[in-house]
Every structure is written in C-alpha cells, then in structure tokens.
C-alpha cells in the first residue's frame, strides 16, 4: 500500500515537472513574439505555434528518453548536467 502511494507521488511530481516545462516553453514563445512583433502579436503567434509545438514535442521526447524527468537524475550532480547537455546538444 505504501509503495503505491509513493509511486503515485513520484508520478505526480513527474507530471508537474512536465507541465511546468510546457508552460515555460510556451511562455518563452509568447514573450519572444511579444517583444519582436508587439504590433501583430496574435497573427505571429498563430504562425509560430505549429512549428514550435512540433519542436517542443521532439524536445520533450528527447528529455524523456534521456531520463531527465526521472527523480534519481534530478539532482545537481554530474549525471544530471551530463544528461542535460546531451539532450540540449542532441535536440
């Protein structure tokens, strides 16, 4: 029973981290478009949203494959930074 609760806790933390990444990426897109195209924000946002979403899915998939959403990797140590840089260079 305790193992199931712990498992759900870990799954919820991974989900929150994943959603936070998505919000951060789309927030960065919105800010970038707002600074660059402030006069035509909604048109530019609609132009950029599809290519950005495709790249975001690829990026998050690479992060998942490299176990960057795994709690054992989420520490400020060499393994984390090695996986992070591998993901950034690969993506």
* Pair 83, 68: CB distance under 8 Å: yes
pLDDT digits (tens, 9 = 90+) for 20-75: 999 999 999 999 999 999 899 999 999 999 999 999 999 899 888 877 777 776 66
The whole-number pLDDT of residue 69 equals: 77
Taking the model in full, what pTM does it have?
Answer: 0.76
- Helix (H) / strand (E) containing 19: helix 2-36
pLDDT digits (tens, 9 = 90+) for 69-81: 777 766 666 766 6
* Pair 68, 18: CB distance under 8 Å: no
């Amino acid at each position: 029973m305790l193992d199931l609760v712990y498992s759900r806790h870990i799954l919820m933390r991974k989900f929150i981290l994943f959603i936070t990444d998505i919000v951060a990426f789309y927030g960065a897109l919105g800010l970038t478009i707002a600074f660059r195209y402030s006069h035509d924000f909604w048109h530019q946002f609609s132009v950029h949203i599809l290519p950005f979403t495709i790249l975001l899915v690829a990026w998050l998939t690479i992060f998942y494959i490299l176990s960057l959403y795994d709690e054992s990797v989420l520490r400020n140590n060499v393994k984390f930074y090695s996986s992070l840089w591998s993901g950034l260079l690969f993506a």
